[in-house]
Structure 1
Amino acid sequence: MPSGDCYWTVLDQQMQVMPAADGFLRYVRFSKDRAESTTEAYARAIVLFLRWCALLGLDWRSAAGHLGAFMLWLRHAPASATAGWVSPGPGAKPVRGPRRINRILIAVRGLLVFAAGTGDVPSSVVSQIYEIADTRDLPPEAAGSDSGLNYRLRARHRVKEPQSNVDRASDEEAVAMLRACCSARDLFLIIVMARAGLRRSQTVGLHREDLHFLVDSSALGCDFPGPHLHVVRRRNINGAWSKSRDSHIVPVDRLVVQAHDQYVFERRALLGDDLSDFVFVNLFREPIGSPMRPDAINDLTTALSKRAGLSRVIKPHMLRHCFGSNVADAGCELDVIQALLGQRSPYSAKPYLHPSRQRLRDAVERVGSPRLTTGATR
């Protein structure tokens, strides 16, 4: 775009931009303020849908009534499938799992609803992909206090996903990864995720101006007490994007500040007076001095897990769960955990809580025992 912002789009077989898909993806990127990576995922999903329509000789505008067959195709057809429709045999191994299929369907439904709004497809398509439900089929707790009858849309086509909760990295695993770090930058990066609970994109999206590691930051125009960092949602050239729409502040302890000081000396020794405002930059791979990309965090945590001799690979988000659980184990209330994690609702912080065994034991020990009555009873 003229502003320098990027988004992904879809080309047809004649290498021309598909107007309906392009309009939808621009709407997702700019009107809904989603990340560039979201438009990439949506664009790839739309391509699969259009490829399936072409294989069956269907017009994508009228294919909404056949999404059940599309789901079956997604389950068994590889991404490079170019042959005609072949029904999979009994016991065929699935190519895509439930979660992946549902994510593709989200993009396809979004395209069809957007196209219905622009008049590119009939409005009746919406009723083919959604069924109208109302609050009468909800339990009282979910229906809310509003006494009126509310309607909602429920997707007709969806694969049941198995429950898969993200596990937390234990303190022992986090310490082992820190000991396996070979540079001050890597040490500071892991500490920021484990001691401040930042997501990977929030971590590599930090700018130098976001770090207020002073006892008194009033000179910086900030009245938040003590050392802290600001998580700001902005478009970054490295593809980093904060999931939290609102900026929030995370206090940090002396371990984070000390690790940052060591990294500053290392960075200056290797790069000199570099001008990049990004906190985390490439020091040991090309292009030197360029901001690290989010996927580099996964490469780092995978390498550190193996170097530390851990029995499993620690993913970046597991360090965020480690932070949330440690804050909860320290006795903080749910609203405090919510604010530290940058969540909009206290209930959004619940998946990050993994009570330790000792915390569970202490909770039981705090429950008083009933008094034993004395005297004869009958």
Structure 2
Amino acid sequence: MRTFPVQMPSGMRYWTVIGEDLLVMSVADAYLRYLRFGRDAAESTTKTYAGAVALYLSWCAATGQDWRAAAGKMPAFVLWLRHSPSQPGTTPGGPVEAAVRGPRRINCVLAGVRGFLTFAVDHGEAPRGVLGHLYELANSQDLPAEARGEDGAWRLRMKARHRVPAIRQRPDRASDEDVLALLRACLSARDRLLVMLLARAGLRRGELVGLRREDVHFLVDSSSLGCGFPGSHLHVVRRQNTNGAWAKARHSRIVPVDSLVVHAHDQYFTERVMNPAAGESDFVFVNLFRAPMGAPMTPAAVNELLAAASRRAGLDPAVHPHALRHGFASNVLDAGGSIDEVQELLGHASISSSQVYLHPAPERLRAAVERVALAATSPGT
């Protein structure tokens, strides 16, 4: 089993699963089409889930099991995931000595397989007993307070039976020194604006290269554009893009920007108008220095650009786009911002998602402890 991209007549793409006979696995295909068009998932999401389903079906084939009945042997599948490689053209065999997939990757695969099997049950392609192998009833008391509902009442929920314990590691945060080094290493005004928007607006890479010129409201009376938001800002809008860019959040949001970003944009505009091909594109970030000229930059190009700039700046490891986003969130808090402000700026549906990005500066941690000590020694305490 392997994954395969499918392009619809509308131009939208999703990923499906095909067998060695090059025939589509119909139930998997229906599930992945449902994700893409019914749930409005990103193409990249269908690619990830197609890979998970392909691994599950490959394991079923290698062990001679029907994919419906194999749901009752998930622990064996987890062991197979941990130790069996899945290189194209090879038949998975017995466990090898070293683990080839870590806990986070295994849990991601399990999530995709649970979704696939649940979809199959819901559409009559698998017996309802499959759900009992995937989930157990649990109560809501083990959830964070913000996830229990406003009334805090006790409720039953379905809890995944199989999950590999994983140590949550704090994501990397790009420091201000890293950002300055990247800016010095940029070779064009376009690249400097790109770094600035990642570091000072906290955009995801898909949001960044999905920006259209109509989304940029810099130093204009926004009311004339039907927008009443004050000051210079960006509109992050989820839409279909020819370059594969995708805004993760379903709802659009407004991100204010400072004068440094506006100045960087002005410099890029001057650079861009020198390339006639760029004038034909409504995308903000386009190819100026390599073919196809004027085409919108892709999300992968953002990683390539930062990797090259990191090498020139002598940064090891290279700074990745999300490290700049993490740095932005932490800087907002270090400057006195609140967690709900960070949530809105980053476009998170849940405040718990924003908490993952927080990296209090050592100085802020020190100040917090000193405030406690000061309160303890104050008169009247």
TM-score (norm 1): 0.92
Residue 219 of structure 1 corresponds to 224
Change (3 A) 1:228 1:83: closer
Kindly tell me: are residues 136 and 326 of structure 1, through their superposed partners in 2, closer, same or farther at Cα, counting changes over 3 Å? closer
Do residues 271 (structure 1) and 271 (structure 2) align? no
**Which residue in 2 is equivalent to 1:204?**
209
Let me know the Cα RMSD of the aligned residues.
Answer: 2.2
Asked if 1:176 is matched to 2:181, the reply is yes
Over 3 Å counting, the alpha-carbon distance change for 1:347 and 1:72 in structure 2 is closer
Aligned-partner SS, 2:366: helix
- Note closer, same or farther for the CA distance 1:253–1:119 as it changes in structure 2 (3 Å cut): same
2:345 and 2:145 map into 1 onto residues whose CA distance is: 31
2:323 counterpart letter in structure 1: M
One-letter amino acid of the counterpart of residue 112, structure 1: L
Give 1:256 deviation, angstroms. Answer: 0.6
Question: Is the radius of gyration larger for structure 1 or structure 2?
Answer: 1
- Which of 75, 81, 87 matches 1:68? 75
Deviation at 1:311, TM superposition (A): 3.4
CA contact (8 A) 1:55 1:82 kept: no
Percent of matched pairs sharing the same residue:
56
2:146 and 2:214 map into 1 onto residues whose CA distance is 44
1:80-113 deviation digits (Å, cap 9, x = unpaired): 2766664325xx1111111111111111111111
Task: Give the alignment partner of residue 309 of structure 2, picking from 297, 301, 304.
Answer: 304
Q: Is residue 16 of structure 2 the alignment partner of residue 9 of structure 1?
A: yes
Find the residue that maps to 1:9 and give its secondary structure: strand
Would the alpha carbon gap of residues 140 and 355 (structure 1) be closer, same or farther in structure 2, given more than 3 Å must change? closer
Give the Cα–Cα distance (whole angstroms) in 2 for the partners of residues 105 and 200 of structure 1: 26
1:285 aligns with 2:290: yes
Measure the CA separation in 1 of the matches of 2:63 and 2:254. 52
Check whether the contact 2:278–2:294 (CA below 8 A) recurs between aligned residues.
no
1:136-147 pair list within 5 angstroms: 146=151
The answer to whether the Cα contact below 8 Å between 1:206 and 1:279 also exists between their aligned partners in 2 is yes
TM-score (norm 2): 0.91
State the Cα distance separating 1:273 from its structure 2 match: 5.8
Cα deviation, 1:234-256, whole Å, max 9, x if unaligned, reads 11111111111111111111111
Report the alpha carbon displacement of residue 362 of structure 1 after superposing the two structures with TM: 2.9
Runs of 4+ with >4 A deviation = 81-85, 136-149
The CA distance in 2 between the partners of 1:270 and 1:139, in whole Å, is 52
Matched, 1:159 2:164: yes
Matched positions, count = 371
Alpha-carbon contact 1:55-1:83 (below 8 Å) kept: no
Contact 2:83–2:100 (Cα < 8 Å) also in 1: yes
The letter for the 1-side match of 2:30 is G
Partner Cα distance (1:83, 1:226) in 2:
58
1:295 CA displacement: 1.2
Secondary structure (helix, strand or coil) at the match of 1:154 reads strand
Q: Using the TM superposition, give the Cα deviation of residue 47 of structure 1 relative to its aligned residue in structure 2, in angstroms.
A: 1.2
Corresponding residue for residue 88 of structure 1: 95
Are residues 1:34 and 2:34 paired?
Answer: no
| Residues 179 and 42 (structure 1), Cα distance of their counterparts in 2 relative to 1, 3 Å cut | same
1:51 aligned residue: 58
Task: Quote the Cα distance in structure 2 between the aligned partners of 1:225 and 1:44.
Answer: 44
Following superposition, the deviation at residue 274 of structure 1 comes to 2.1
Amino acid at match of 2:27: A
Following superposition, the deviation at residue 358 of structure 1 comes to 2.1
Equivalent residues of 2:139, 2:154 under 8 A apart: yes
Aligned match of 1:327 in 314, 323, 332? 332
Q: Displacement of 1:365 after TM fit?
A: 3.9
Partner letter of residue 239 of structure 2?
A: R
Deviations 1:318-365 (A, max 9, x none): 101111111111111222222211222334322222222222233344
Following TM superposition, by how much is the alpha carbon of 1:18 offset from its aligned partner in structure 2, in angstroms? 1.6
d(CA) in 2 for partners of 1:179, 1:138 = 45
Q: Equivalents in 1 of 2:321, 2:366: separation in Å?
A: 29
Q: Deviations over 1:181-209 (max 9, x none)?
A: 00111001000110111011110110110
1:359 aligned residue (352, 364, 371): 364
Q: Are the structure 2 counterparts of residues 249 and 72 from structure 1 closer, same or farther at C-alpha, using a change threshold of 3 Å?
A: same
